[in-house]
Structure 1
Amino acid sequence: MFSWLARMASACWKPVRRYARMNKDDINDVDSMLGDSLLWCRDLEKHSLGEFSFAVVQANEVIEDHSQVETGQNATFVGVYDGHGGPEASRFIRDHLFLHLVRLAQENGTMSEDVLRSAFSATEDGFLGLVRRTWGIKPLIAAIGSCCLVGVIWRGTLYVANLGDSRAVIGSLGRSNKIIAEQLTRDHNASMEEVRQELRSRHPDDSHVVVMKQGVWRIKGIIQVGSYFSGYLLL
């Protein structure tokens, strides 16, 4: 029974027909650069559940953010990783989160909230291990983090997972064919009282886990992004 479920889970992802990372090096069409090296896009492309496209306004010359789109016969995965302090964390998530998700989906024979949560935790544990191994020669890696926003369509069901303050928004047609936008995720940001209370409860011995700086609540006085899955994203 388990082997049948594992094959079913595997079939949802294999073959992976399309793979897209938000990297301007992948854009071959000069017209897609829109005349600005920091503004680029990919036109609509078909996949198993419809079409997708993306557009990016790159804030810095050295891009800290990464994304990916994975599609198979019965599943689609979209990830957005908003890095801060450097590209290492967002790149690590891009290279490992989806692989953990596929492995766990195969082991469980399906997709679920627990599978998504476990994939996030495994990815975070892996990055923390990398930090512990390398901070002696590269101490700044301990000050690097990333938001992580994931959407998975699995056999017609949409799953959304979020750490940080990136947002997933779904659009639908309302009356008079007007597009109605609905936010699907909840922000994890130190400007929110519930996030500050969560951080304080997880770190009762750290009186500076959240600090007001220049009129803005920040974790350790540095960043605003918080997380319910871990302590604070900035080590």
Structure 2
Amino acid sequence: MEGSEVVNGVENGGSSEGRPPNPLAATYRQCFGGGRVTAGPCKKSVVRHHSLVVKTKTTGIAIEPRLSSEDHGTEFIPILRSGAWSDIGFRSSMEDVYVCVDNFMHDYSVKNFSERPNAFYGVFDGHGGKHAANFASDHLPKFIVEDEDFPIEIERAVASAFLQTDTAFAEACSLDASLASGTTALAALVVGSSLIVANAGDCRAVLCRRGKAVEMSRDHKPGCSHERKRIEASGGYISDGYLNGQLNIARALGDWHMEGLKGSSGGPLSAEPELVTARLTQEDEFLIIGCDGIWDVFMSQNAVDFTRRRLQEHNDPVRCSKDLVEEALKRKSGDNLAVVVVCFQPQPPPNLAVPRPRVHRSISAEGIKELQSFLDSLKT
């Protein structure tokens, strides 16, 4: 088991062409001003909710909130608290990595930003070694803040950062073949009251909205219909649930050394993330992001229920993350384990009052007849 670990200051405990206007752009401008935001040298320091509109594209999904004129006057501003934990589990080596940065703009030396909430959280599940996961956890946040579109066109900046990280790792591997490996990647950003989740692989992000699990990502498995179509259109195939008979995931960063999966003209293994955005409200309590070792033994609603109970007991996201990992071990998860819990409010989740159903009682016709007979006997 790993001991205490510090990751970025937190102790372990595509193109715009053809895209619709970003409905959250005004929020980003309000958060950071209309001027260009510049970044200095980086410092290392289950259900779809009715308020979400689902848009499916061939290159990914985007889930955006329905906004009304009243939303702008009563905007919910989250108070961020986060914790993370990891464990090697029953594996011989540890290949999972996480990043927790509650003050993203400050820690990555972004200038001219307001004091509104801004944070970056990520989980990276490596395979074939830890090099790709380490590389992605270090470079992905940097590529995001260095993008000229950040933070005004934040979705485009994040998607571009995934592809830049993948390309940069390919260049690193060409110089040092010992780095050859791959990793899934899931990043969650909080900017003001907006939550943006980008996923490539089978890590998962689940939002707790008043006790209900709202899945903010979907697992990229080769057998899924939306991934199968993309894979086959890219010249790939699925054999016994594996992409080209080699990987049990459909999207990942790295894996440039594996024949037939990636190339200069593309391939069936994609590094492009699917993006999901939502406007946080007072009903949103916390977010769980975890590598697939967590979700092998937790269903999304089950994880939300478990986390909610733990937060009600001690209200500590670090302890809660550790609780999730230890429970996954008890449930015999056979993988490395890494999880991040992000709370949006200072108080623990409230108890949810369950209204008692009204009980309707009735008497049968035979019962009424017997009652009438009894009353008549009393008169006599």
Query: Does the alignment reach a TM-score above 0.5?
Result: yes
RMSD after superposition: 3.0
Aligned counterparts of 2:151 and 2:198: Cα–Cα separation in 1: 19
The structure, 1 or 2, with the larger RCO (C-alpha pairs under 8 Å, 6+ apart) is 2
How many residues were matched structurally? 181
Q: Distance in 1 between matches of 2:176 and 2:248?
A: 25
CA distance in 2, matches of 1:196, 1:67: 29
**Which residue of 80, 88, 108 maps to 2:123?**
80
Matches within 5 A, 1:34-45: none
- Alignment correspondent of 1:147: 184
- Residue type of the alignment partner of 1:51: R
- TM (norm. structure 2) is 0.43
Once residues 218 and 185 of structure 1 are traced to their aligned partners in structure 2, the CA distance between those partners, rounded to angstroms, is: 21
1:182 counterpart (214, 221, 230): 214
Question: 2:184–2:202: 8 Å Cα contact kept in structure 1?
Answer: yes
Q: For the residues of structure 2 that align with 1:110 and 1:83, how far apart are their CA atoms?
A: 31
Match of 1:227 in 2: 251
Q: Name the aligned partner's letter for residue 94 of structure 2.
A: I
Counterpart mapping for 1:105-184 below 5 A: 108-135=150-177, 138=178, 141-142=179-180, 144-173=181-210, 179-184=211-216
Name the aligned partner's letter for residue 81 of structure 1.
Answer: F
* Cα drift, residue 183 of structure 1: 0.7
Q: Which amino acid aligns with 1:195?
A: E
Cα distance change, pair 107–183 in 1 and its aligned pair in 2 (3 A): closer
> Does the Cα contact within 8 Å between 1:5 and 1:109 map onto a contact in 2?
no
The one-letter amino acid of 1:68's match is V
Q: Which amino acid aligns with 1:117?
A: A
- 1:71 corresponds to: 102
Superimposed CA distance per residue, residues 51-71 of structure 1 (whole angstroms, 9 cap, x where no aligned partner): 112233423342111110113
Partner of 2:83: 53
- Residue type of the partner of 2:190? I
Asked whether the equivalents of residues 95 and 129 of structure 2 are also in contact (C-alpha less than 8 Å), the reply is yes
Displacement, 1:108? 4.2
Q: Are the aligned partners of 1:146 and 1:233 in contact in 2 as well (CA < 8 Å)?
A: no
Do the aligned partners of residues 182 and 162 (structure 1) sit closer, same or farther apart at CA in structure 2, a change above 3 Å counting? same
**Which amino acid in structure 1 is aligned with residue 215 of structure 2?**
Q
Any unmatched runs of 5+ in structure 1? Answer: 20-47, 174-178, 204-208
Tell me if 1:212 matches 2:239: yes
Q: Is the 8 A contact 2:184 2:252 kept in 1?
A: no
Q: Which has the higher strand share?
A: 1
Check whether the contact 1:188–1:228 (CA below 8 A) recurs between aligned residues: no
Supply the AA of the counterpart residue of 1:88: H
CA offset at residue 14 of structure 1? Answer: 11
* TM-score normalized by the length of structure 1: 0.67
Q: CA deviation at 1:110?
A: 2.5
Cα distance in 2 for residues equivalent to 1:158 and 1:15: 23
CA 1:233–1:111 in 2, change beyond 3 Å: closer, same or farther? closer
Aligned-pair CA distance for 1:75: 0.7
1:187 CA displacement: 1.8
Q: Give 2:120's aligned amino acid.
A: F
CA contact (8 A) 1:111 1:154 kept: no
> Identity of paired residues, percent?
23
How far off is 1:115 after superposition? 0.7
The question of whether the paired residues in 1 share the 8 Å contact of 2:203 and 2:219 is answered with yes
**SS in structure 1 at match of 2:35:** helix
